[in-house]
Amino acid sequence: MPENPQNTRPKVKQGVISPGSLNPKLSAKRRVLPDVEELVKGILGGDRILLGRAITMVESQKYTHQRIAQEVIQKCLPHAGKSIRIGITGTPGVGKSTFIESFGQHLITEGCRLAVLAIDPSSQVSKGSILGDKTRMEQLSSNPSAFIRPSPAGDSLGGVARKTRESILLCEAAGYDTILVETVGVGQSETAVHSMVDFFLLLLLPGGGDELQGIKRGIVEMADLIAVNKADGDRLKLAKHAKRAYQNALHLFPPKESEWVPKVEICSAISSLGIPAIWQYINDYKSHTESNGFFKDNRIGQAKYWLYETINQRLQTSFFESEVIKKALPDAIKSVTEGQQTSFQIAEGLLNAFLGSNQK
Amino acid sequence: MPENPQNTRPKVKQGVISPGSLNPKLSAKRRVLPDVEELVKGILGGDRILLGRAITMVESQKYTHQRIAQEVIQKCLPHAGKSIRIGITGTPGVGKSTFIESFGQHLITEGCRLAVLAIDPSSQVSKGSILGDKTRMEQLSSNPSAFIRPSPAGDSLGGVARKTRESILLCEAAGYDTILVETVGVGQSETAVHSMVDFFLLLLLPGGGDELQGIKRGIVEMADLIAVNKADGDRLKLAKHAKRAYQNALHLFPPKESEWVPKVEICSAISSLGIPAIWQYINDYKSHTESNGFFKDNRIGQAKYWLYETINQRLQTSFFESEVIKKALPDAIKSVTEGQQTSFQIAEGLLNAFLGSNQK
């Protein structure tokens, strides 16, 4: 069972594994796969170690692990969904970790049970990972009311997003009522996160308001709340100025489908300024969208979106891993790179071969 | 035959069409589909009107049009590829149109035959389109050595990208030796453009260098040349300062696979400052990458990438448009939105139904 090396959860004994075994088949046989019933029982009982093991199954590339993961998710499904899911994004350096540390502490004093997950597809390139360094959230990660899981590494955005989404369901089944999904505000991952959360929080730095131009318009449009972080010391005045500038800028955007007017707040992880206000806004948002029906409608839309995503992924896997395509692909690639045939014609040919191969 | 309403090319007579016909079948029958041989002959002879018609076929959603388009592309393929393909990006307001107008004039005086295409998936939302307003490039669009085509509207990024890529091939077959592909620097479209061009040009505004933070790191990493635009009047000094700042910033990026060291240049559409230098850099780049083999390797890599993209698109179409999936999908969606089954399980079921339906 591959353990995520950046996993900060305690390691779980996994039966007798001899890493130096010369016979991989024998070694694989010796590994004890976790039992679905045991995992489900553990998760529903709030067992963090078994929750961690189940997420490791979710994150695994192996088919047997995936089968276990899907069974566990299916059994947890009736117990999932009863949380507020909050996406948090911001460019590197904006102070996401310290914000989550401070915000998380506040949530716990408010009686929340908090799970922090992450999406960072860039980690496959940089080998670094957000939430990967547990010292970055030292207090929070040692708190029994918080469960922190770093971003699964070495995968495509689609893969990482699916894993995070399934991990949310498991965390909810384990009784975590507040889910934070962290992402770096530099790529496409915001869209993925936005499609799995109820509330989207954008962290920005104090400044003259020009920074807004630096953030992709689409990300600003997603935000339900902009928090101007690091509003302490000399930067407090600047942050207040930025707040006004962002408030003005937000007026330029069209009204949101949720009928929620995005808020701007200044905050500081050091002084805790603004932290309770942000939590209050999130609660206001929840009441607002529950009463106008958007909260539920949005989740239904997200479920549909993820169904399509899952279908497309499964479809591709079944195609590219079929024997007939594996065999035909090298010639097809040769033909297209040598300019003999158009991509369209080759794709057509491969598709017919694939569908034909199922005619038996 | 649907004409792109934003198409600035001259309209072509398409046989007798009675728009008010009450019998759509009869009306469709009356339309004269363009002949493949005629289109190919026209394109290879440099006929701009027939090139425009062929691109309209490429952009059409209709199956019969697509079939014609693919035949035309296949026949043009041996005559395509002999151009330099240049991607141009920059945030709105950076002056892309005026830059292309000025840059394009220079290329034509240098003896180039220039095609300008665009990718703007955002136009499906805003209904606006880059290159859509022909007055924006008045001089260039009236020059017989230039062919300007606005971005196809109302489609997904994948769709727009495929159409632009296929249009490049047709323009090349028509004898255009310099292809500019314009895109807005705000979304994912840069990646699509980067995967179809040889050279990637990023336009920025004069400023203190802070703007670099505003552009996605990934886009800056793609750039072979950063041009600080609007370097005229009061902004000249600022632009020179920005040039130094960007040059310093570029040192922070890892070396490129092409072994080309990205350049920074200041330019002005008004004074033509920097325009010849930018064209010289592009020629230097071509010589450099042709001699080290990257030019060819990159195109091979791009062809592979587009093959996979095409396969995935065709695969999805064949799945979602099959009778069995059309029939099963509503229940599947109901089941997932009501939380009865996981997306994975439903996708699995649909896939089996789809593959099973081909067993006859």
ipTM of the complex as predicted: 0.71
- Cβ neighbours of B163 in A, within 8 Å: none
Could you tell me if A176 and A114 are in contact, meaning their C-beta atoms sit under 8 angstroms apart? yes
Could you tell me if A161 and A119 are in contact, meaning their C-beta atoms sit under 8 angstroms apart? yes
A171 and A128 in a single domain? The answer is: yes
Q: What is the pLDDT of residues A298-346, one digit of tens each?
A: 999 999 999 998 899 889 989 999 999 999 999 999 998 888 888 888 9
On whether residue B297 sits in a domain, the answer given is no
Could you tell me if B116 and B182 are in contact, meaning their C-beta atoms sit under 8 angstroms apart? yes
Range of the domain at A320: 306-359
Place of tokens 């999130």: A282
| Cβ-defined contact of B216 to A342 (cutoff 8 Å) | no
Q: What is the pLDDT of residues A252-297, one digit of tens each?
A: 778 899 999 999 999 998 899 999 999 999 999 999 999 999 999 9
The one-character DSSP state at A147 is: E
A101 and A125 in a single domain? The answer is: yes
On whether residue A316 sits in a domain, the answer given is yes
* Total count of domains within chain B: 3
A207 and A324 in a single domain? The answer is: no
Helix axes A63-76, A36-44, angle to 10 degrees: 40
- Cβ neighbours of A210 in B, within 8 Å: 210
Long-range pairs for B214-218: beta carbons < 8 A, 24 or more residues apart: B214/A211, B214/A213, B214/A214, B214/A215, B214/B91, B215/A214, B215/B91, B215/B185, B216/A186, B216/A187, B216/A216, B216/B190, B217/A186, B218/A186, B218/A187, B218/B190, B218/B191
| Cβ-defined contact of A339 to B314 (cutoff 8 Å) | no
- Type of residue found at A34: P
User: What pLDDT, on the 0 to 100 scale, is given for residue B186?
Assistant: 57
User: What pLDDT, on the 0 to 100 scale, is given for residue B92?
Assistant: 74
Which backbone phi and psi does A227 adopt, to 5 degrees? -110, 120
- Residue A124 pLDDT grade (very low, low, confident, very high; cuts 50, 70, 90): very low
| Cβ-defined contact of B342 to A74 (cutoff 8 Å) | yes
**According to the 3-state scheme, what is the secondary structure of B96-135?**
HHHHHHHHHHHHHHCCCCEEEEEECCCHHHHCCCCCCCHH
Task: Taking the CA atoms of B46, B47, B53 and B54 in sequence, report the sign of the dihedral they define.
Answer: negative
On whether residue B16 sits in a domain, the answer given is no
3 state DSSP class of A4: coil
**Among B58, B120, B147, residue whose Cα is nearest residue A343:** B58
User: What pLDDT, on the 0 to 100 scale, is given for residue A185?
Assistant: 60
Among B291, B314, B334, the domain boundary falls at: B291
Element (H, E) at A85: strand A84-90
A164 and A42 in a single domain? The answer is: no
Q: What value does the mean pLDDT of chain B take?
A: 83
Q: Exposed (0-12), middle (13-18) or buried (19+): which is A145, by Cβ within 10 Å?
A: middle
B199 and B321 in a single domain? The answer is: no
Could you tell me if A74 and B342 are in contact, meaning their C-beta atoms sit under 8 angstroms apart? yes
| Cβ-defined contact of A359 to B356 (cutoff 8 Å) | no
On whether residue A296 sits in a domain, the answer given is no
User: Tokens at residue B47, please?
Assistant: 């006929």
| Cβ-defined contact of A341 to B78 (cutoff 8 Å) | no
Could you tell me if A149 and A118 are in contact, meaning their C-beta atoms sit under 8 angstroms apart? yes
On whether residue A47 sits in a domain, the answer given is yes
The one-character DSSP state at B14 is: -
Find the farthest-apart pair of alpha carbons in chain B and give their distance in angstroms, rounded.
Answer: 73
On whether residue A265 sits in a domain, the answer given is yes
**Is residue B178 pLDDT above 80, yes or no?**
yes
Q: Which residue of chain A is at minimal alpha-carbon distance from B186? A: A216
Place of tokens 């806004």: A281
Q: What is the pLDDT of residues B21-67, one digit of tens each?
A: 344 444 444 457 789 999 999 999 999 999 999 999 999 988 899 89
Give the closest-approach CA distance of A170 to chain B in angstroms: 12
A11-49 burial code (b ≥16 CB/10 A, e <16)? eeeeeeeeeeeeeeeeeeeeeeebebeebbebbbeebbe
How far apart CA B293 and CA B297 sit, in angstroms, is 6
User: Tokens at residue A337, please?
Assistant: 């790179």
Instruction: Over range B177-185, report the average pLDDT.
Output: 88
A245 and A109 in a single domain? The answer is: yes
Q: Would strands A146-148 and B263-266 be described as parallel, antiparallel, or unpaired?
A: unpaired
Element (H, E) at A265: strand A263-266
**CATH classification at residue B56:** 1.20.5.170
Out of B318, B339, B359, whose CB is closest to A358? B359
How far apart CA A180 and CA A101 sit, in angstroms, is 11
On whether residue A71 sits in a domain, the answer given is yes
A130 and A209 in a single domain? The answer is: yes
How would you list the strands of the sheet with B199-204, edge to edge? B146-148, B114-119, B178-184, B84-90, B199-204, B225-228, B263-266
Q: Which of B71, B310, B354, B360 to mutate to test the interface with A (most CBs of A within 10 A)?
A: B310
- Cβ neighbours of A195 in B, within 8 Å: none
B178 and B205 in a single domain? The answer is: yes
- Residue B119 pLDDT grade (very low, low, confident, very high; cuts 50, 70, 90): confident
Which residues, in sequence order, are bridge partners of residue A116? A148, A180
Give the closest-approach CA distance of B344 to chain A in angstroms: 6
A222 vs B279: which has the higher pLDDT: B279
How far apart CA B205 and CA A160 sit, in angstroms, is 35
User: Tokens at residue A232, please?
Assistant: 């302490």
Q: Which of A76, A188, A315 to mutate to test the interface with B (most CBs of B within 10 A)?
A: A315
Q: Which of A307, A312, A350 to mutate to test the interface with B (most CBs of B within 10 A)?
A: A307
B245 and B332 in a single domain? The answer is: no
A100 and A220 in a single domain? The answer is: yes
Could you tell me if B208 and B241 are in contact, meaning their C-beta atoms sit under 8 angstroms apart? yes
B142 and B225 in a single domain? The answer is: yes
Give the closest-approach CA distance of A32 to chain B in angstroms: 24
B206 vs B2: which has the higher pLDDT: B206
Instruction: Over range B245-267, report the average pLDDT.
Output: 89
B2 vs B283: which has the higher pLDDT: B283
Give the CA count within 13 Å in the CB-facing half-sphere of B327.
6
On whether residue A299 sits in a domain, the answer given is no
**CATH classification at residue A195:** 3.40.50.300
| Cβ-defined contact of A186 to B217 (cutoff 8 Å) | yes
B213 and B242 in a single domain? The answer is: yes
